[in-house]
Structure 1
Amino acid sequence: MPLELLHVINSLPSKGYIQMTPSEAAALLSARLAEYASDRRKDVARGAETPALAGVLVQKFGYGLADAFRLVFPDDRGSFGYPEVDAAVATVDPEWRSHQDTRWSARPAGLSLQSAGGATE
Structure 2
Amino acid sequence: MTTYPVIMAIAGAVAIMGSVFLSYNLYQMIAMDAEARGMPRPRLWAFMSLPNGNGAGALPVYLVVRRKHTRRPFNHKEQEAYKGYKKKAKLSLLILLIGMFPLIFAVIHYLALS
**Which category of TM-score, normalised to the shorter sequence, fits these structures?**
0.3 to 0.5
**Greater RCO (CA < 8 Å, at least 6 residues apart):** 2
TM-score (normalizing by structure 1): 0.31
Structure number with higher helix proportion: 2
